[in-house]
Amino acid sequence: MNTSTAVSFNALRNAAYHQAISMGLPTPKLEAWRYVDCGPLATLPKDKSAAINESQDNARGIVVPVGKSSEPGMVITNGTWDPEASPPLPAGVTIRGIAGDSVNGDPLVESWARRIPHLSDISEAWSFADMRSGLECHIDAPVSQPLIILNLATDPSSAWRGRITVKQGASVQILLIHLISPLARSSVGLEVAVEAGGRLSIDEIEFSSQSQSLLGQLYVHKDISVHADAETEWHHAGRGGELVRHCWQVHLLEPGARASLASGCQVRGNAQNHHYLKMNHRAPKTESNQLFKQVISEGGRASFDGLTKIFPGADDSHAAQLCRSLILDDQGLMGGRPQLEVEADEVTATHGAAIARPDGNELWYLRSRGLNQNEAMQLLIEGFLGEIAHSFSLAPARSLASQQLALHLVTDNPA
């Protein structure tokens, strides 16, 4: 794309479309997709009219109980932010929508245009090519109320991108909810910058719009930059879907930058849930913590592929990375690859992965106290994943996360 002249929004999307076509669909031969069953990528629904009709039905009357308000702060329906459907934003938050050729030469569009030739992941390319709107969000001061973002997707080509900037000394808590139809493919790109002394906490939860069905395809790309003495916490919970994949790029850029990531997933049946992560310590005295937990059963597939890299000069940094998984039967599949590269001095760095079956002694102990097999297993899983749910910042988010991570066993013989 020629970026020497003003770039339009539609030209940006068109360039991303051609970039995606040139990539082709990924296969497990690609390093970043090595644990993924890529079959769903080639089997998108052909009848978009059913998805669009469902979108119009589901967009009415959706409520998210958070704090004193029962409505989201932002509603994004199939990639389009509708300010009229969203209540007023909390004080200290400003949001600008970007769409259509009326934004020719917009600085954010220009910066995105420069990224297009360097895209290497098909789902990130989709977040540009299928993008209905872009959002630029500024947090200018400490925000006393949570900012709630609802991503409602029922269309097979739903996509949006957002850039969130937490200004120096500002702080905010965000609840990000993905409500995804079994018919949908939702591609989301989030660029986050936390400036010096800023604080950002995000609670992210995934749901299917049909409670008895898997959500469709969800791809979330997160590019997070943390500056001096700033802090980012990101908590995630979900049950997977036809194909759910989170890509994390975290950059700790200046001394005192801190990042903490925690994710819990309950993956069963035909569901997939994958995390591909790079944590980059680029300055001294930076700190990161990662905890990813999965429970897999009945043919579910999950993975954690994470690299923590401490660059030259990032001395006196601390990094901890841990992935723990429980597989409940012989059908589940878990791919775990924690990695650590240290090129600095005087650092404290740990990484590890553990894949196990439920502890028979613990189950026996619980059953000896009067619980049946299902109850004992549910309690064991609740304890395993409860650590993640309890880490969520917002009380309503902790409740929603606990619901998503609960194990629901149905059997003819619960004894």
Q: Which of 258, 290, 287 is nearest to 277 (CA)?
A: 290
User: Span 369-382, mean pLDDT?
Assistant: 80
Q: What secondary structure letter does DSSP report for 39? A: G
E-strand stretches of 68-115: 74-77, 80-81, 93-98
Residue 23's alpha-carbon distances to 27, 118, 142, 157, in angstroms, are: 11, 11, 42, 18
What per-residue confidence (pLDDT) applies to 7?
Answer: 78
Report the relative pairing of strands 231-238 and 258-268 from DSSP bridges.
Answer: parallel
Largest CA distance in the chain: 74
In sequence order, what are the residues at sequence separation of 6 or more whose Cβ sits closer than 8 angstroms to the Cβ of residue 370? none
pLDDT band at 313 (very low <50, low <70, confident <90, very high): very high
Could you give the CA distance from residue 405 to residue 385 in angstroms, rounded to a whole number?
A: 7
Q: Which residues pair with 179 in a beta bridge?
A: 152, 207
Ranges 83-87, 236-240, 254-258: which has the least confidence: 83-87
pLDDT value at 71 more than 60: no
Residue 331 burial (CB count, 10 A): 14
In sequence order, what are the residues at sequence separation of 6 or more whose Cβ sits closer than 8 angstroms to the Cβ of residue 212? none
pLDDT value at 201 more than 50: yes
Q: What secondary structure letter does DSSP report for 214? A: -
**Pair 69, 87: CB distance under 8 Å:** yes
Q: Which of 97, 93, 108, 142 is nearest to 12 (CA)?
A: 108
Could you give the CA distance from residue 81 to residue 73 in angstroms, rounded to a whole number?
A: 11
What digits encode the pLDDT tens for the residues 245-299? Answer: 999 999 999 999 999 999 999 999 999 999 999 999 999 999 999 999 999 999 9
What is the share, in percent, of the chain residues with pLDDT greater than 90? 67
